[in-house]
Amino acid sequence: MPRVRVKVADGGRIVIPAEFRRSLDLEVGDEVILDLAEGRLVVLTPRQAVKRAQETVRRYVPEGRQLVDELIADRRAEVDRE
């Protein structure tokens, strides 16, 4: 997708061009997440942000290990100790 130049309006508003909104499947009223990374403003959909977080965590968790199952087991053990 080509780069597009936009202006910053009153209140710091910018308009995301229609082609970009369609590509991201954004509708009026949808929320986006802004990230400042290496001097760049990155706009993510919530789905993209979750996927990025999952990929980050996955790098540190061995294959086949289920953190959710471990968390549930820890919570159950905690309840049993009370």
Q: Give the chain's domains with CATH numbers.
A: 10-81 (2.10.260.10)
Per-residue confidence (pLDDT) for residue 20, from 0 to 100: 94
Average pLDDT (4-26) is 94
pLDDT digits (tens, 9 = 90+) for 35-59: 999 999 999 999 999 999 999 988 9
Statement: the pTM of the whole predicted model exceeds 0.75: no
Question: Do 45 and 25 meet the contact criterion of CB atoms below 8 Å apart?
Answer: yes
How crowded is residue 51: how many other Cβ atoms within 10 Å of its Cβ?
12
